[in-house]
């Protein structure tokens, strides 16, 4: 009789311990699920911030003003200097300057100097990386008609990109347009 009572007591005790363990496991599972969902949500929201490329008024304004910059490449007479946009058109037409230099070489030289001076890129600077591409697009509304770029100037380290911004400028050249696109990568704001 006594043995039976002891067995029942023991069974009751072990059942209580089991119940408490189950509750603890349940609580841990709930906390784990909430934490995992939170981490996934945070990860997605942080990813959204770093990956998106935004158009930037400063870059667009920079391109507009750069296009008007007077180069040292004369067209028909000494004081008839080409602007950067004129040099781009001349590059696509395969023309040269009055002194014999190829328009494409002068354009590359001038753009490299301007970009290095105004968007100095590198690990120790605010601008981590820049890339300027000049390409022809046969249909301005369809990005798939984009041809291989004629000029690509880049500097810095693209792996350090935190904030990606871009701007572009197009020069009408029927039936399409010559597009100059500048992409700038900066450190996190």
Partner 1 sequence: MRKINKKSQLKIQEMSFMLLALILFFVIAGLFYISLSASGLKKQASILQQEQAITLISKLANSPELSCGKSLCIDVDKLLVLKDRKAYQGFWDIEGLRIMKVYPYPTQEIECNAGNYDKCTVFTIKELNQSYLEEGTFVSLCRKETKDKIVYDKCEIGKILGGIKIRQ
Residues touching partner 1, count (CB under 8 A) = 29
Smallest separation (angstroms) from partner 1 to the CB of 23: 8
Candidates 38-46, 100-108, 153-161, 172-180 — which segment interacts with partner 1 by CB under 8 A? 38-46
Q: Give the span between the Cα atoms of 65 and 58, in whole angstroms.
A: 11
- Under the binding rule (CB under 8 A), the answer on residue 11 touching partner 1 is no
HSE, side-chain direction, 13 A CA sphere, residue 88: 28
Instruction: Give 42 or 152: the residue with its C-beta nearer to partner 1.
Output: 42
- Under the binding rule (CB under 8 A), the answer on residue 31 touching partner 1 is yes
- Under the binding rule (CB under 8 A), the answer on residue 76 touching partner 1 is no
Cβ–Cβ contacts within 10 Å for residue 176, how many? 17
- Under the binding rule (CB under 8 A), the answer on residue 33 touching partner 1 is no
Smallest separation (angstroms) from partner 1 to the CB of 14: 17
- The alpha carbon of 143 is separated from its chain's Cα centroid by a whole number of angstroms, namely 17
- Under the binding rule (CB under 8 A), the answer on residue 25 touching partner 1 is no
Q: Give the span between the Cα atoms of 136 and 158, in whole angstroms.
A: 24
Residue appearing with tokens 């009572």: 5
Applying CB under 8 A, which of residues 5, 57, 141, 148 lies at the interface with partner 1?
Answer: 57
Smallest separation (angstroms) from partner 1 to the CB of 58: 6
Q: Within the chain, how many helices (H) and strands (E) appear?
A: 4, 7
Cβ–Cβ contacts within 10 Å for residue 127, how many? 18
- Under the binding rule (CB under 8 A), the answer on residue 58 touching partner 1 is yes
Check if the beta carbon of residue 138 is closer than 8 Å to that of residue 176: yes
- Under the binding rule (CB under 8 A), the answer on residue 2 touching partner 1 is no
- Under the binding rule (CB under 8 A), the answer on residue 172 touching partner 1 is no
Exposed/middle/buried for residue 115 (C-beta within 10 Å: 0-12, 13-18, 19+):
buried
Binding site for partner 1 (CB under 8 A): 27, 30-31, 34, 38, 42, 45, 49, 57-58, 61-62, 64-66, 68-70, 77-81, 83, 113-114, 117-118, 189
């Amino acid at each position: 009789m006594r043995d039976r009572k002891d067995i029942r007591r023991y069974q009751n005790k072990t059942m209580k311990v089991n119940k408490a363990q189950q509750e603890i496991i349940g609580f841990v599972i709930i906390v784990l699920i909430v934490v995992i969902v939170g981490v996934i949500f945070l990860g997605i929201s942080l990813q959204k911030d770093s990956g998106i490329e935004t158009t930037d008024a400063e870059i667009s304004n920079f391109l507009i003003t750069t296009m008007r910059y007077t180069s040292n490449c004369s067209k028909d007479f000494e004081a008839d200097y080409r602007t950067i946009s004129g040099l781009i058109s001349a590059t696509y037409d395969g023309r040269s300057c009055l002194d014999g230099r190829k328009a494409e070489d002068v354009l590359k030289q001038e753009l490299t100097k301007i970009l290095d001076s105004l968007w100095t890129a590198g690990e120790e600077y605010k601008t981590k990386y820049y890339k300027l591409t000049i390409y022809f697009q046969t249909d301005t509304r369809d990005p798939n008609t984009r041809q291989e770029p004629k000029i690509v100037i880049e500097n810095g380290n693209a792996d350090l990109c935190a904030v990606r911004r871009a701007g572009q400028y197009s020069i009408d050249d029927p039936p399409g347009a010559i597009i100059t696109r500048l992409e700038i990568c900066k450190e996190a704001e």
